[in-house]
Structure 1
């Protein structure tokens, strides 16, 4: 069962070292909206490095050919009595939240509900996430939001194999992260 608790270690993988997260630099259109994303799995953070590097090269932030990134470790210290919502499973509510943040015109009531939270936690899918979710929001599995389309999409995402992610959406949430250390990781060729 997913939960966020005091003293929990969380990891963030990036093309650059991140000691002090900045919400202004966080991308929109991610699973739980704009925010600073972390995971309890160092392995998951390492896997994200390649994606982060590709995006940074495309955005002109780094030179092509960089073959290393950084995994930062943070400790969660709940000092602000934040509002936290955790999706314990990859279920219909989780799917609608992810779809709503990726395509604003669907499930606007979900976005409004989730905007009230400082932190949102839940499952993160594997590398097929983008293709499956794009197909879902395009209606390829049936009417978006229908039980059949939802069930089919969730089965495609293999929820039993999904790691976790925590989106820190507010300054109050970021204030609860204490930087511990950063490790440079070289990508295998």
Structure 2
């Protein structure tokens, strides 16, 4: 179950570098909930992503050899004046949102609906689950969007094991975050 954010919650962001002031223009597109700044309430998840992010940054020449990732921490300062959508479980509506943001031309109605939110939260489809999502998008479980394909994909994702993530998609949402600090995660 993914909870609605509460005033004072501490959220974590894993990367190859410290992030004090997120910039939406630097955020990658085609992520689970679209372009935005991603955070989690699970510090271990952020630590894992910091390591993965650092490995990718080294492989892509973004940074020279680096033996640590960084987890940046933020305090969330309330829901006032934000449009927030929370996918409480990894079900077919969550799956369609993830696929809509990862594959052009699929579930356009979902993309349109998501465009009106400042924050979208739900389960994380991480590197460990990526192959299942890609297989689903290739129609290997049946027609994308069909009940049977959805059911197979969700069952294989083991949704009870997935951690949470929150995508801050607007400047208004980012303004609700206060940088608390960061720590290095050694690899």
TM-score above 0.5: yes
Give the structure 2 partner of residue 96 of structure 1.
96
* 1:74 matched residue in structure 2: 74
Matched, 1:14 2:26: no
Q: Which moved more, 1:103-112 or 1:123-132?
A: 123-132
Aligned counterparts of 2:103 and 2:79: Cα–Cα separation in 1: 33
How far is the alpha carbon of 1:85 from its aligned partner? 0.2
Count the aligned residue pairs. Answer: 186
Q: Which runs of 4+ in 1 moved over 4 A?
A: none
Alignment gaps of 5+ in structure 2: none
Aligned to 1:140, what secondary structure does the other structure show?
coil
Give yes or no for contact 2:5–2:79 (8 Å, CA) kept in 1: no
Compare 86-95 and 76-85 and name the one that shifted more.
76-85
Q: Partners of 2:133 and 2:6 in 1: how far apart? A: 29
* TM-fit CA distance, 1:78: 2.0
Cα distance per residue 1:118-152 (max 9 Å; x no partner): 00000013533211111111101100000000000
* Secondary structure of 2:127's aligned partner: coil
Q: Structure 1: 5+ residue runs without aligned partners?
A: none
Q: How many Å separate the matches in 2 of 1:72 and 1:8?
A: 14
- The two structures, once aligned, show a CA RMSD in angstroms of 1.2
Please, what TM-score do these two structures have when normalized by structure 1? 0.95
CA distance in 2, matches of 1:26, 1:126: 16
Q: Is the 8 A contact 1:26 1:36 kept in 2?
A: yes
